[in-house]
Amino acid sequence: QVQLQESGPGLVKPSGTLSLTCAVSGGSISSSNWWSWVRQPPGKGLEWIGEIYHSGSTNYNPSLKSRVTISVDKSKNQFSLKLSSVTAADTAVYYCARDVRGYDSLRFDPWGQGTLVTVSS
């Protein structure tokens, strides 16, 4: 079955850029699915960041759109997140997830284990 694994620096300096990668195994990133990033600040709820299709099409959360870039690398079967101009408010556990989406469908399954990114000097 499909499994996802996040990786990237656990500490980012304020005003810097957060960069994470999600490796997909057990299936092709070029399947008919979207691939999403979701974050969760410590002790708080979930926030959808955005998604990408293997063609490169993207959709972003309007509240983060100006700072977010999601890209895909089909040769490595992975997709990536970049969040610029970070502040302490961007400290969170970042999850990647398969985004099963269609005209009459929307669900996130499965999820990666998550990776904590702390923004601090």
- Using CB under 8 A as the criterion, which residues of the chain lie in contact with another protein when the complex forms? 36, 38, 45-48, 51, 59, 61-62, 95, 104-114
Q: How far is the CB of 35 from another protein (least distance, A)?
A: 13
The whole-angstrom separation of Cα 48 and Cα 41 is 12
Nearer to another protein, 51 or 90 (CB): 51
Task: Concatenate the DSSP letters of all residues of 5-70 into one string.
Answer: EEES-SEE-TTS-EEEEEEEESS-TTSS-EEEEEEE-TTS--EEEEEEETTS-EEE-TTTTTTEEE
Task: Concatenate the DSSP letters of all residues of 67-99 into one string.
Answer: TEEEEEEGGGTEEEEEE-S--GGG-EEEEEEEE
Q: How far is the CB of 107 from another protein (least distance, A)?
A: 4
Nearer to another protein, 15 or 113 (CB): 113
Q: How far is the CB of 19 from another protein (least distance, A)?
A: 20
Nearer to another protein, 10 or 75 (CB): 10
Q: How far is the CB of 48 from another protein (least distance, A)?
A: 4
